[in-house]
Chains A and B, each alone.
Chain A
């Protein structure tokens, strides 16, 4: 079975500051990991995904995430926050065996202050 933990239901940063959203996973087999973003009253959009080709994954809008097997982590970062980054962010995991049904974390709300 797989699980995902997102540390911090809310993260607050100033515009221009580094964004760090944390995601830890648990799985018994190599995972596939995803970050999604959700703007108010909309569905989720894919930011980036890890599929074992490279440990550092670049996504849209200058977001990137690094897969660290030893730490079972897939934290999302962005060097400089923009007001438009304010949204809910979800980490998700699927496994190479089984039904391929993703498991989502509870989400982290990113607040950006001017």
Chain B
């Protein structure tokens, strides 16, 4: 079955360490997205990519970095510069050529930084 795989499901890190969250899709989608979810704040867009080797900052990109070297993969690095990294992170993908194309989501990675 086609879908999006995020790994790991739970991640624990010490403050000051960089950490990379994995996101892989086999839906042949051009567009991929990273969202951060905090209680009561909905989904906030971190980065998105609509084509390989290109990506754009979202609303809360500070302290995060991404790469898009392959169509299937869009890893997110949470750097030590992110002041409050503990959150639930969601990766999604969609077609990039149609506005009515829904997003397909992974099951998320819960990051805890202490």
Contact = CB atoms under 8 A, between A and B. Distances in A.
Interface string A73-109: 0000000000000000010101110011110111100
A32 B101 CA distance: 9
Nearest to A99: B50
A43 B98 contact: no
A100 B108 contact: no
A90 B35 CA distance: 14
Given A9-B40, A90-B42, A101 B100 contact: no
B113 interface: no
Interface of B: 4, 6, 31, 33, 40-43, 45, 48, 50, 58, 90, 92, 94, 96, 98-108, 110
Contact of B42 (A34, A94, A101, A106): A106
A100 B96 contact: yes
A43 B92 CA distance: 9
Contact of B41 (A49, A99, A106): A106
A95 B42 contact: no
B100 A49 contact: yes
Nearest to B56: A99
B91 to A, nearest CB: 8
B20 to A, nearest CB: 19
B70 to A, nearest CB: 21
Given A43-B92, A94-B99, A104-B42, 16 more contacts: A36-B105, A42-B107, A42-B108, A43-B4, A44-B43, A45-B105, A46-B103, A46-B104, A90-B42, A100-B96, A101-B33, A101-B45, A101-B48, A106-B40, A106-B41, A106-B42
